Amino acid sequence: MAVAPFLPQLAEITAQLLPPLIELFGELITTWLPPLTTAFEWIAKEVLPWVIVAVQDLADTWSDRFTAMSNYLRDARQFIGDAVDGIAGFFTGLRDTVSEVWDKVVSTIAKAIGAIGDMMKRVEWVPGCRVDPEPGQQPRHLGPGQRLRRRRVHHRSGWAA
């Protein structure tokens, strides 16, 4: 409501300035609008088709390049993945093979040692070996029927169990 006393003055200023502004706007429309319209028509007929073709060519070229790059990267990723899988498979197979070979070597050695042990259990007399005497007894040679595995035996090269 504080603006109410100024309303008559604002109406008078508007009434004075409005006709020259309308005349100026009309003058701009009659003098500037036809050349601008002509310029826009010329741009639309002569320039825009070239721009549209250039943009389409640029888009097609970049689209082809991006598609090719995408295919290349996909193929490279597949190749690297297959190579890594192959290497992993090789080492997994190698681990399994080495494990099997090691198990066979250990098994063969165990069988050989077992066979040697069985053979030694059957030995009853070893020439040139004598039994370590019990305290107070004379050394004696092993004879038939005495088992080598039950006593410590002295051999020329040293003590053996």
One-character DSSP codes across 113-161 = HHHHHHHHHH----TT-EEPPPTTS--EE--TT--GGGS-EEETTEEE-
pTM of the model: 0.37
Lowest mean pLDDT among 33-37, 57-61, 117-121: 117-121
120: Cβ contacts below 8 Å, ≥ 6 apart = 148, 149
Residue of higher predicted confidence among 152 and 48: 48
Question: pLDDT-based confidence at 24, cuts 50/70/90?
Answer: confident
Question: pLDDT-based confidence at 151, cuts 50/70/90?
Answer: very low
Kindly tell me if the per-residue pLDDT of 144 is higher than 50.
yes
DSSP state of 1: -
Please, what is the average pLDDT of the chain?
81
As given in the structure block, the two tokens for residue 104 are 């066979």
Kindly tell me if the per-residue pLDDT of 74 is higher than 70.
yes
145: Cβ contacts below 8 Å, ≥ 6 apart = 124, 125
Tens digits of residue pLDDT in 83-140: 999 888 888 888 888 889 999 999 999 999 988 888 877 766 666 555 556 666 655 5
Question: pLDDT-based confidence at 150, cuts 50/70/90?
Answer: very low
DSSP state of 3: T
